[in-house]
Chain A
C-alpha cells in the first residue's frame, strides 16, 4: 500500500555546501492526513518541500541521498512536471509564483500546459473558483490582488489539476489574521470533505494546531513527530530551542494545571467550565491617566488618495508622544504602510497635515525628516547594496553625518549580535539577521523616532524574541518606537503604550493595549485579539484583571488570592 509521502533516510547537501541541509530524515505520511511541519528558519523546512515537489535535486543540484516516494512514485526517476497532478505545491511568497497577468489565465495555466480540452478546463476552473470563492476575481489583474486573494489564486491554480496531496510552505507568513483563518478553514475543508492530504510547513502555530492531528518538528533532522499534544508535552521549550511558536492556549493550559495542552480558545474554555475562577484584589498595572509631555508626531485630518483613486487613508487624527511605544495594527490594505510613509514625507497628504517634531512634512524633504525619524520597511532586501554587513551600517552612519562613524558602527553591530557577520554579504545571512541589520542601519544614527514596518514578517519565534529584546532596550532609552504589525501574538508580548487600530484607511480604535483589546476593538476585527484576551473574556475573568500574556497573568496572580477549584 503506497503512502502519500514517504521519505526514507534522506540527507541533502546544497551545491558547494559541506553542511547538510537535511540529515537522515524519515517521514511517512498517509493519504488523508493533515500534518504540520514546524521548525526554526534554516531548519530545512523549505528544502523538504522542494524535495517532495521534485525541484530538488532536479533544479537545484546538490547531493541527495535516500529515497523519496510521492503518491507511490520514486521522484528521482521522473520529471518534476509529471508530478503536478499528484502533488500540488505552493511555495513561499505566493506573489512571486504568479505567472500570468490575469487571474483567469493563472487558473487555466497548468491545465493548458497539460493539454486539457476547453470544456474540461471550463468545468474545473468553475468548480475550483467557486469553492475558493474567487470567481469574482476572474478578470482582475493578478498584481492588484490583496495578500489573501493572491494566496487563494495560487492555491486555485494548483488545485485545478486535482492533486490528492497538497504541500504549502509557510502559507500564513504574510497573511493577516482574518485571511489566515479563512485559508486554514479552507484547507481543513479540503482535508475533511475531499480527503486531500495536507502538509503545511509553518512556525506560527497559534491558529493552525487545532486543525492538525499531527505535528513534526524539523531542525535538519526530525526532532519530534506525533500528536501535537504529545509533542508539546515532550518539548516544553520548543519555542526557545526550535523557534516554534507555542500557542498561548497551550501556555495557559500549563499554567492552569490542565493535564493536556489545549490547542484552541474554545477547547480551553470547555476545559475550565467546571472550575470556579476567581481572583481577589488583582492589581492591574496600567494607569488610565496617560501623560503626554511632548507630541512628537501630530496627524491632523489626514487623507491620502492614490493616483488610481483609491482612498488609502481617511480622516486620520493621531498624536504620538515622545518616548511612547506605539503599535499600528490592521489587516493587509488597511493603510498601515501608507500612514508611516507620511511620517518621513515619502508621501505627502492629499488633504490634512502631518507634523513631525513640529515640522510640517510638506515643507521639509525626506532627507531632512529622516534625520529625526528612521524607518525600516517590510522587505529588508530593499535596503542592502553594500558588500558587507559592516559597510552597510557604516554607509548610513556616514550619510547621516554621524561623528566617529566607524566606532559607532562597530558598537551597533555588536549590540545587535551581528559582529560575527560583519564581513559577510548582507544577502547571505538569514532572514532574522537581515531584519536586525536593517534595524541596525537605522539605530546607528540615533534618530528620535524609530519606525518598523511589519518587523516580524517571515522570521521564526526565536528571532522574534531577540527583536523584542532589542526594541524594549531602545524604548527604555527614551526613544519613540512605532511598529506596524498584524502579528498579534507577538504584540501581546511587547510592552506597547498605545495601540492604533486601522481598518480600511480609518482609525477605528486608539488606546492602551488593554483597553483596545478588551473593549475598543470592533466586533468584525475579532481575529485581531490575542488568544489570552479571548479566553479571559470568555470565562469572565476580565472583571478581575485584564492581561495580555501569560507572564503578566502569573505576576498578577502572585500578589492576589485566587482559586480555580473544580465545582461539581
Chain B
C-alpha cells in the first residue's frame, strides 16, 4: 500500500546531490574517464568471473559513499521493471529469431544484465554529482561551442524535475480516484495518460519559461563565454584515476596475458 512508483524512485535517485561527497570534488573529466573505462572493460570482459569481479568493484565504489548508497538502490528499484522487460524481450527475440537454444540465450542475457549493472554505478556518480554547467565547461575546453551543447544538457537537467512533476501529478490523480494498479492492460495504459499528459504539458510550460530565462540571462549573446570556476585536475583526481586504472585495466590486461599463455 505504501509502495512507490518507479518514477518516484527515479526522481530521487537521479537528482543532483548537493551534499558534499568525494565524487563531487572530482573534476567532471575524471568522472567521464571513469565511465569510459568501465564501459570498455564491461564489454571487453568475456567470462562470468571477470564480469562479476567488475560488478563487485563498481557497486563497491558507489556504495562506499553513504549519500550515494541510497540513491543507487533507489535507481535499481526505479529501473528493475524496465530491465526485466528488456531482458525478457531479448531472450524471446534471440530464441525465436536466432538458432540458439534457450539455455545459451539465458546465459547470454545474464551477461548483458551484469554489464548493465557494471556501468550503472559510474553513470549514477556522474549524473548525481556533476552539474550541467560543469559538463558545458568540460566540452567547451575541448573546443565545442557551448550553446550547441545546451539543449542536451538542459534535457539532462530536466529528467529529475520531470519525474518529480510526475510524482505530484500522480498524487493529484490518485486523489480523484485514479488507480493505476487496477484493470487490464488496455485500461492501465488509458489511465497512464492521466499522469503522462499533465506531466508533458507542465514540462512544456517549464521549457518555455526556461527559454525566456536563458535569454534574460544573456545566454548565447556572445560566441564565447567565461567560466567562473576553474576546471583543474587536482591530486584527488589523480588518486582516483590511479585506483580506477589499477582495479579495472590492470586485471583485464593480466587476464588477457594469462589467457594467451594458456
Contacts and interface: CB of A to CB of B under 8 A. Distances in A.
A108 B215 contact: no
Interface residues of B, number: 57
| B interface, over-half SS | helix
Nearest to B202: A381
Given A81-B220, A100-B132, A102-B18, A383 B228 contact: no
Contact of A91 (B172, B201, B213, B224): B213
Contacts of B260: none
Nearest to A344: B175
Given A59-B211, A80-B215, A110-B217, A307 B12 contact: yes
A383 B132 CA distance: 31
Contact of B228 (A118, A143, A307, A341): A118
Contacts of B227: 112
Interface residues of A, number: 72
B175 A375 contact: yes
Contacts of A96: 205-206, 209-210, 213
A365 B174 CA distance: 10
Contacts of A140: 18
B218 interface: yes
B133 to A, nearest CB: 5
A550 to B, nearest CB: 36
Nearest to B200: A385
Contact of B193 (A84, A91, A385): A385
A241 interface: no
B177 interface: yes
A427 B172 CA distance: 16
B47 interface: no
Contacts of B221: 79, 81-82, 113-114
Contacts of B218: 81-82, 84, 110, 113-114, 161
Interface centre among B18, B161, B195, B206 (most CB of A within 10 A): B18
A379 B177 contact: no
A114 B222 contact: yes
B131 interface: yes
A382 interface: yes
A97 interface: yes
A264 interface: no
B183 to A, nearest CB: 11
B216 A89 contact: yes
A101 B16 contact: yes
Interface in A49-104: 50, 53, 55, 59, 79-82, 84, 88-89, 91, 93, 96-102, 104
Contacts of A385: 193-198
Interface in A144-172: 144, 157-158, 161
B64 interface: no
A441 B178 CA distance: 13
Given A59-B211, A377-B171, A101 B226 contact: no
A158 B157 CA distance: 21
A157 B215 CA distance: 13
Nearest to B74: A307
A379 B230 CA distance: 40
Interface stretch (A181-189, A366-374, A459-467): A366-374
18 contacts: A55-B216, A84-B217, A101-B131, A101-B132, A101-B133, A102-B18, A108-B228, A112-B225, A346-B175, A362-B1, A367-B179, A377-B172, A382-B198, A383-B176, A385-B196, A385-B198, A399-B177, A399-B178
Enumerate the 4 nearest inter-chain pairs by beta-carbon distance, A residue then B residue, closest first.
Answer: A96-B209, A141-B18, A385-B197, A97-B213
Interface of B: 1-2, 12, 15-18, 20, 70, 131-133, 157, 161, 164-165, 168-169, 171-179, 193-198, 201-202, 205-206, 209-222, 224-228, 230
